[in-house]
Structure 1
Amino acid sequence: MLTHLHISNFAIVRALEIEWQPGMTTITGETGAGKSISLDALALCLGERADGFVVRPGADKADLVATFDISKLPAAQHWLAQQDLAMGNECIVRRVVGSEGRSRGYINGVQVPAQQLKSLGQLLLSIHGQHAHQLLLKSEHQRQLLDAFADHPTLLQAVKQHWKDWQQLKQEYQQLLTSQQQREAQRQLLEYQVAELDQFAPQQDEFAELETEHQRLSHSAGLIAASQQGLELLTECEEGNALSLLKQASYLLGDASQIDSKLAGIEQMLQEALVQVEEASRELRRYGEKVEVDPERLNDIDERLSQWLTLSRKHQIPNDQLFLHHQHLAQQLQQLAGDDDRLAELELAIARAARSYSEAADKLSQQRQQAALELSHKIERSMAELSMHNARFEIMLQQLPLDKANALGCDHIEFLVSTNPGQPLQAMHKVASGGELSRISLAVQVILADKVTTPTLIFDEVDVGISGPVAAGVGRLLRQLGAATQVICVTHLPQVASQGHQQMFVEKYTDGVHTETRMRTLQDDERVQEIARLLAGENVSASAIANARELLCTP
């Protein structure tokens, strides 16, 4: 609830400190004194648009600070915690507006944008102006009121989730369906490409192996000649070869090492070389026997490599990537085939999701129907208390077809009213006057008081256009509302002002040069005088004072 308001250099207020109490607080004062100025300051403090004209003439800035007790406001506590702005059970909101029009907002001492002030403000208080009851004509607001009275947030959330799931499946299905023609063209291209590559059948690492074999076959004659010459030099040349020369050197050094043992190591090295030469000769002979001149195989490899290069250029990929590219295209083709299967799966899933949504929406409709009957009776009784004795009220629910449903269910909700005997029930905007709408709106507020999420309700002259018994009924209902939540009401009616648990008076002073508005809490005798003034005008009589005392003693 609102506990304190500081106003400095705002409009015609120089400095003002207001302590606010629980229950119903009424604000009265002379016409033009600025009864709504504290409410305007609150609205500005909580994010309303600001400009330099709100700054008191001669001052460089206006400073507005509102303090709230949020110990019983879990929604506000959660919001502040999410924004890293929490400060225990108290919340201090500040707005500074410069004379040049720039403003700064603060929450618990941290500077924030105006949008954050507005978001928090919706969790702290709700301001109802003279025309706020016009909101009651909107179908969406009527639905919100009925759902608040029915108090079924879990069911509402379930309907929203089923709706979301259903719409997501429908969206996926539509996207697949829309791209079907494009996918068909892509499928035809992939089928041709995959079939061509299937026929060619590239194998992993095949290109490198083909290049190696092609290199060997194209130089086979030279390889054979080289291996034969190598054998000649190593072992087969009768005029002299490496093997015979090594043997001769080994024999010589073998004899010499008998004389000088230092030559034994060299002779051992020659023996090892003999072994290596003999092994090399055997390997070279085997190699020469296996190397063959195969023009037909060489031609086949040439043709294979040519096709490989052609396909690589065609698909614009490196030569060694053809195998992987073939696998990738095959996977794409398989995925496209899977899209058709997915379409069939989605059709079944959409039907199941629609049934789940419909079942949840039906349960919601049933609860709304029950709540609508109860709320209609309660509103009708409250209307009678507000001197609408012959009025009838009914909440009509019309179940819409599934194709016109939404995340909030399948119900079209409309408040119907008849204000005169014999008059049929009709939509509120067709038959209800502004004063009647204001009374119906107030009746709804009182009935839903225990469902209200904002702990402070502000009414800015919502009682305009009513008087007498109606005003007394409005006053009683506002006081009843104040028992459940903090109510602040700017009024000019004594029947309403007298119902407040406390009353504040707004007065304007001028010295001929400067004008200033002040606001103070009235004590008992002062309150009697103010109620009497509202009853009789400036010339307060003894009967007016007696009447004022009677009003104040009749809660």
Structure 2
Amino acid sequence: MLIHLQIRNLAVVRQLNIDFRAGMTAITGETGAGKSIALDALGLCLGNRADVDLIRADNDKAEVTATFQCDDPNSPAAQWLAGEELVDTEEPNTCVLRRVITREGRSKAWINGTPVTAAQLKQLAPLLVNIHGQHEHQLLTRPEHQVQLLDAYARHQHLLADVSQAYQHWYQLRQRQKQLQQHQAETEARLQLLNYQVAELNEFALAEGEFELLENDHKRLANSAALLEDSAFALNAIFEGEHNNAYSLLQSALSRLEQQLDTDPGLTETVRLLSEASVQVEEAARELRRYQDAIELDDEQLLLTEARMTQALQLARKHQLAPQQLYEHHQQLLTELHALKENQAAADTIDTEVEQAAERYRRAAKALSESRLEAATELGQRIAASMQQLNMPHGRFVIEVTHQGQAPATRLGTDLVSFMVTTNPGQPLQALAKIASGGELSRISLAIQVITATQMITPTLMFDEVDVGVSGATAATVGKLLRQLGESNQVICVTHLPQVAAKAHQQLRVDKVIEGDNTETVMTHLDNNERIIELARLLGGDEITAATKANAAELLAVG
């Protein structure tokens, strides 16, 4: 519920603080006084486009702050705030919206002190306030708006969600089906090539790092004779030679120097190093023997290694890459082939999936249509009854719901919804858009707005001169309807009709004050006596007589 609205430097308002209460509140005032300023200001807080022309002429920025009471933690607004982490921890039952617009065209917004986007304000707006404008009847003739009104009355959001989800799933599958069909020929050609290439590489089966090993093996096998000869020479030179091999020479030198250690201990380090060298030479000799034993003069293995290397080189040239990259390339081709086969499998089943998704969508659309049809009967009867109360005694109102099972799919189903009406006896039902009388259309629109508002989850409803074209006893009925609505919702109504204003639980008057070159709008809560005077003005104009005051007092008493 809206409890306070603060406006600064907006249009002709310098500063305005308005407290709102539960029930029905009527806002009245002279033409041009700015009765709709509260609705315009609230619209800014709810995410409407920020127009710099709204800023008061003598200022650089305008600011609007709206405070709502959200006592129910399970209400949609409270749940949205919790989900967005925008709850005021100090005052969790309060929601404060603030909007600032500057002359430079910049706009800033806050929810409970946290900066937010205009898009977030628009998400929260319908959970707090529903504004019905004076031109609502113009929207009423549009088929898409008629569907929205019927769905709002039916309150079958779960069915709308089912249809929307089914539509999205079906649409995505059809897009996938189209892509697969477009690339089918290209995919088949690529599959044939990949199957051949992968089969060839699978047969060769080069292991990771194998080509490098083949190169090393080939070099060793091709030079095995030289390796054997050189290792034999080295072994003979360091250990096995009959004359003057390195080991025997080291041993001779070591023996002589050891005998001289007593003469000169300074030879100790030299003796130690020669002793270690002797051990190292002996160990090297053992390693050379083992190496010689391992060397094989294997021409057959050499031929086999050369053949595999040659095949690897040929495959690498075929695929236009280095032989060292052949293994990785093989793995990439395997991955691509697997993915293409999966796509082909999907292409084989996509038709069935599309058919199943279409069937699911049609079932969801049918269930939605049945719910619309049930709601249409009830809503049509209620609107017809309300029309008769609004001085259209012969009024009939029928909502036709035609389910087009095979019509093109939309997120809202496949129904054709038409508001059909007749206001005179003997006349056939016609589409609402064909009604000649603007006054009748205005009254029908008001009846629909009031009735559908009872089904909405929004706690605050605002009506901006929706009673245009209504007068007399009909106006009293309009006021009665709005007051009844105010018993369950907070209703704020801008009106020029005394019969409507008299039905309100409380009343605000808007005045335009001119001081010198400055014009300012002010808004005042009226007590009972002030309401009588204001109602008398609405009844008789600027000249208030005892008769108009008496009439106003009677209206207020009856209200």
TM-score under structure 1 length normalisation: 0.85
| 1:120/1:152 CA distance change after superposition, 3 Å | closer
Distance 2:71 2:247 in 1: 109
2:529 aligned partner: 525
Residues 227 and 287 of structure 1 are in contact (CA less than 8 Å); yes or no, is this contact kept in structure 2? no
Residues 243 and 278 of structure 1 are in contact (CA less than 8 Å); yes or no, is this contact kept in structure 2? no
Report the CA distance between 1:428 and its aligned residue.
1.3
1:464 matched to 2:468? The reply is yes
Distance 2:433 2:522 in 1: 40
1:347 matched to 2:348? The reply is no
2:269 aligned partner: none
Report the CA distance between 1:380 and its aligned residue.
1.0
Distance 2:337 2:286 in 1: 55
Report the CA distance between 1:408 and its aligned residue.
2.6
2:37 aligned partner: 37
1:67 aligned partner: 67
Distance 2:538 2:247 in 1: 141
| 1:330/1:16 CA distance change after superposition, 3 Å | closer
- Deviations along 1:277-308, whole A, 9 cap, x unmatched? 996686466446x324x2x6545544432332
2:94 aligned partner: 90
* Letter matched to residue 69 of structure 1: Q
| 1:382/1:223 CA distance change after superposition, 3 Å | same
Matches within 5 A, 1:361-372: 361-372=365-376
Q: Alignment partner of 2:558: what SS?
A: coil
Distance 1:491 1:280 in 2: 111
* Letter matched to residue 319 of structure 1: P
* Letter matched to residue 379 of structure 1: I
Q: Alignment partner of 2:71: what SS?
A: coil
Report the CA distance between 1:439 and its aligned residue.
1.9
Matches within 5 A, 1:168-247: 168-226=172-230, 229=233, 240=243
Residues 236 and 245 of structure 2 are in contact (CA less than 8 Å); yes or no, is this contact kept in structure 1? no
* Letter matched to residue 80 of structure 1: L
* Letter matched to residue 192 of structure 2: Q
2:150 aligned partner: 146
- Deviations along 1:70-122, whole A, 9 cap, x unmatched? 22472222333344432211122233445565554333334444444444333
Report the CA distance between 1:51 and its aligned residue.
4.5
| 1:338/1:216 CA distance change after superposition, 3 Å | same
Distance 1:301 1:91 in 2: 82
5+ residue gaps, structure 1: 257-264
1:261 aligned partner: none
Q: Alignment partner of 1:484: what SS?
A: coil
| 1:536/1:403 CA distance change after superposition, 3 Å | closer
1:24 aligned partner: 24
Report the CA distance between 1:429 and its aligned residue.
1.0
Distance 1:269 1:509 in 2: 115
* Letter matched to residue 113 of structure 2: G
Residues 7 and 13 of structure 1 are in contact (CA less than 8 Å); yes or no, is this contact kept in structure 2? yes
Residues 228 and 292 of structure 2 are in contact (CA less than 8 Å); yes or no, is this contact kept in structure 1? no
Residues 128 and 462 of structure 1 are in contact (CA less than 8 Å); yes or no, is this contact kept in structure 2? yes
Residues 94 and 106 of structure 1 are in contact (CA less than 8 Å); yes or no, is this contact kept in structure 2? yes
Distance 1:271 1:72 in 2: 97
Residues 232 and 241 of structure 1 are in contact (CA less than 8 Å); yes or no, is this contact kept in structure 2? no
Distance 1:27 1:505 in 2: 6
Report the CA distance between 1:194 and its aligned residue.
2.4
1:81 aligned partner: 82
Distance 2:285 2:509 in 1: 124
Report the CA distance between 1:516 and its aligned residue.
3.2
Report the CA distance between 1:377 and its aligned residue.
1.0
- The equivalent position to 1:399 in structure 2, one of 390, 403, 406, is 403
- Deviations along 1:334-367, whole A, 9 cap, x unmatched? 4323322222232233333333333233222222
* Letter matched to residue 221 of structure 1: A
| 1:106/1:322 CA distance change after superposition, 3 Å | closer
Residues 235 and 241 of structure 1 are in contact (CA less than 8 Å); yes or no, is this contact kept in structure 2? no
1:260 aligned partner: none
Number of equivalences: 548
Distance 2:463 2:304 in 1: 96
1:291 aligned partner: 297
Report the CA distance between 1:462 and its aligned residue.
1.5
* Letter matched to residue 472 of structure 2: G
- Percent sequence identity over aligned pairs: 49
Distance 1:115 1:277 in 2: 83
Report the CA distance between 1:490 and its aligned residue.
1.5
Matches within 5 A, 1:117-156: 117-156=121-160
Distance 1:9 1:331 in 2: 66
* Letter matched to residue 48 of structure 1: N
| 1:147/1:233 CA distance change after superposition, 3 Å | same
Q: Alignment partner of 2:477: what SS?
A: helix
Matches within 5 A, 1:370-389: 370-389=374-393
| Stretches of 4+ aligned residues off by more than 6 angstroms | 234-237, 268-278
1:436 matched to 2:448? The reply is no
Distance 1:110 1:231 in 2: 87
| 1:60/1:476 CA distance change after superposition, 3 Å | same
TM-score under structure 2 length normalisation: 0.85
1:415 aligned partner: 419
| 1:187/1:59 CA distance change after superposition, 3 Å | closer
Report the CA distance between 1:506 and its aligned residue.
2.0
Distance 1:51 1:154 in 2: 37
Deviates more, 1:455-464 or 1:190-199: 190-199
Residues 449 and 484 of structure 1 are in contact (CA less than 8 Å); yes or no, is this contact kept in structure 2? no
* Letter matched to residue 19 of structure 1: D
1:3 matched to 2:3? The reply is yes
| 1:503/1:227 CA distance change after superposition, 3 Å | closer
Report the CA distance between 1:176 and its aligned residue.
2.2
| 1:346/1:391 CA distance change after superposition, 3 Å | same
| 1:280/1:370 CA distance change after superposition, 3 Å | closer
Distance 1:536 1:186 in 2: 88
Report the CA distance between 1:386 and its aligned residue.
0.9
